[in-house]
Copies of this chain bind each other. A is one copy, B any other.
Amino acid sequence: MNITRREFTWLVGAGIASQSLPGFARPEERRVGYCIVGLGRIASHFMPAIVASHKARITGLVSGHRDKAERIASQYGVPNTAIYNYQNYDEIAHNPDIEAMYIALPNGMHAEYTIRAAKAGKHVLSEKPMATTVNDAQAMIDACRKANKKLMIAYRCHYEPTNLRAVQLIREGSLGKIQAIESAFGFNIGPGEWRLDKKLAGGGPLMDVGIYSLNACRYLTGEEPAFLSATCSVIDKDGRFKDVEENVSWAMKFPSGVVASCNTTYGAQMEGFYRVHGSKGVLQVDDAFVYEGLHLTAKIDGRPAIDEPNTERDPAHFIREADHFAACILENNEPKSPGEEGLKDMKLMMEIYESCKKNA
């Protein structure tokens, strides 16, 4: 087994190697104050995670809907004075209870509210994809660096035990030499979602869910793609796909020679999965990218060898993610999934779109 220092850090950083799981944290620990920006679907998973965390607490809310914000504030014990909107957002600078902003807005708003947060002296945990353009992503990194604030991209799977177990099995050599990966993730989207608006979303399923497969191929191999080629399509002419693609299929090659083929869609049922093929065995994670119910199986030498359903319930992944960033702030460490990690995916997704244009 050859685990490099970088990879060991990867596993430790996620609380795998150190066993510093949330439940072991001391309750008297100082808690990082998170302000939740955007009270939508993903925030509704993140906020209960903060309540369950021993390293974090909710100290502020940002919303365009005061009523909704007040209801949620009372639910989570946030004072009404710590409710902000998108106009007075910069006032967070004067609230010392707010240390970190959790940016759970549509993709196209991540950059603005990250940069304004950094200027207000706050650390930022931004949802993925980190932005809608490479320039915006770079500007987010620059702003946080200039303000000496931490920037983490919310790559849940980097902190999730089943995905980490897959990485560990690969690095340990349990599958032999890795040769090829398949991965896919998508869903059949309803009409009217901001995800279908290119200005807000930056793109279609690739930006939203295909990014999981792309990112997984990178953490599973521990490499950056040396080549990629892609093709996009729109099949359903029902008004949903005026702005963004419906399907993407892409092939990649990594410097070691590992090849990967991936699909994503907004037009079909496509549960997230990956299969990793090695000279000695094959590993598969089903429901690899969702909040619970992940399932890792592996065959070694042709025989079923590993069958590990993940029994953690939502919001366990979010607790791990929130705790990691809180720990980074408390201990002044770099997050395992910093802005630079998000930028890499942004650049690759833009390459995929460029390739789609050529291959139209």
Contacts and interface: CB of A to CB of B under 8 A. Distances in A.
B247 A259 contact: yes
A236 B177 CA distance: 9
B176 A180 contact: no
A271 B282 contact: yes
Stoichiometry (number of copies): 2
Interface string A175-201: 111111110101010000000000000
Q: Chain A interface residue count: which class? A: 35 or more
Given A269-B282, A279-B267, A251 B253 contact: no
A233 interface: yes
Contact of A246 (B179, B184, B232, B263): B179
A120 interface: no
Contacts of A137: none
A268 B261 contact: no
A50 interface: no
Contacts of A231: 227, 229, 251-253, 259
Interface in A210-269: 227, 229-236, 246-253, 256-265, 267-269
A257 B269 contact: no
A172 to B, nearest CB: 16
A176 B177 CA distance: 39
Given A251-B230, A252-B231, A253-B233, A180 B265 contact: yes
B269 A302 contact: yes
Contact of A235 (B177, B236, B247): B177
Given A229-B229, A249-B251, A269-B302, 16 more contacts: A180-B249, A181-B263, A182-B263, A227-B359, A229-B231, A230-B251, A233-B253, A236-B279, A247-B257, A248-B259, A250-B261, A261-B262, A263-B277, A268-B282, A269-B282, A270-B277
12 contacts: A179-B235, A180-B247, A180-B264, A182-B184, A186-B277, A227-B231, A229-B231, A229-B359, A247-B258, A268-B282, A269-B281, A270-B282
The 10 closest A-B pairs by CB, nearest first: A249-B259, A261-B261, A233-B257, A229-B229, A268-B277, A235-B257, A179-B268, A249-B251, A231-B253, A179-B267
